[in-house]
Amino acid sequence: MQCEDKLHQNVKFLFAFPVYNAPHRHYRLHTHWFHELILVNNGRFRSRAAGEEHIAVPGDILFYTAHTPHEEWAESDETVVTWACGFRGGTFAPDEPVFRRDTYGKVQEILSQLTAFLVLDKFGGMRIPNNQAIPPIVQVLLAELERVKPQGPHALVDKVRAFVRSRIAQPISVEDLARHVGLSRCHFFKIYRDTTGRTPWKDIQLLRLEEAQRLIATTSMPLHEIAPRVGIASEYHLSRLIKSILGVGVRELRGA
């Protein structure tokens, strides 16, 4: 902990607040002089940075170090809710990964606390000179960002899932995925199955079904329009997958 404190002792917190992105809002290629963290709360948020695309869904984190060019789109037909946080300073590697996952909701909890500090400072008369009361929470945030950083086989899985989500309507083979991460088919297949407990093809199917479930629950699109949008051959096949894997019918999903 002392090492982490020393590493990030010059960190300066700037802001944290929720952002309501209009459907299909496009943020053209831009950079910031500070580090920016985006946490997705609702909808799908597409990011292009460092030569890669990511589709971020609720619970996903996009982290851009200062001066990293990036472009973003609110992909959903409904408002996409994200949480934005900015800070400067600290020591980050040149190849700092953009994508990570807030699996246990710790990052969202920290961002809520940081936002509360700002609200109290601005409207509650609680003056925080130079943000002196905030750094301890920022230290926790930085430690959590480091903890959820994808590494080793988990980084490979995240890269594959981002690739699938960005091409969800297109045909995708296991060979395509292996080529994307620069491995032979057999080596890739083994690493992926050992890491996730599922075959790559099963994960592709689940990701397609995840997006179909979102569209069913949040739009009035008929099943015959949803199926091709998620890369499933027909509405009949999609309906069968929903029933066999999710254990519910389309009507239950739409009414939930």
pTM: predicted TM-score of the whole model, two decimal places: 0.74
Between the alpha carbon of residue 8 and those of residues 53, 91, 136, 143, the distances in Å are 29, 7, 11, 10
Q: Could you tell me the strand order of the sheet in which 26-30 lies?
A: 26-30, 70-74, 45-49, 52-56
pLDDT at 83: 95
Q: What is the dihedral of CA 163, 168, 170, 173, to 10 degrees?
A: 50
Q: How far apart are CA 128 and CA 201, in angstroms?
A: 52
Q: How far apart are CA 123 and CA 230, in angstroms?
A: 46
Other C-beta atoms lying within 10 Å of the C-beta of residue 104: 12
Inter-residue contact 163 to 99 (CB < 8 Å):
no
Q: How far apart are CA 239 and CA 94, in angstroms?
A: 45
Q: How far apart are CA 162 and CA 48, in angstroms?
A: 11
**Half-sphere exposure of residue 145: CA atoms within 13 angstroms, side-chain side:** 29
Domains of the chain listed by start with CATH number = 2-147 (2.60.120.10), 152-255 (1.10.10.60)
Question: What's the average pLDDT block by block, 10 residues per block, for the chain (256 residues)?
Answer: 49 89 94 95 90 87 94 89 90 83 90 80 54 69 88 85 88 93 92 91 91 85 91 90 82 72
Q: Which residue has the tokens 């894997």?
A: 245
pLDDT at 2: 44
- DSSP class of residue 127 equals -
pLDDT at 116: 81
For 225-233, the CB contacts below 8 A with 24+ separation are 228/169, 229/168, 229/169, 230/168, 230/169, 231/168, 231/169, 231/170, 231/171, 231/172, 232/208
Residues 6+ apart with CB under 8 A from 36: 63, 64, 84, 85, 86
Residues 6+ apart with CB under 8 A from 3: none
pLDDT at 39: 96
The alpha carbon of 193 is separated from its chain's Cα centroid by a whole number of angstroms, namely: 22
pLDDT at 128: 53
Between the alpha carbon of residue 101 and those of residues 9, 17, 38, 104, the distances in Å are 25, 19, 11, 9
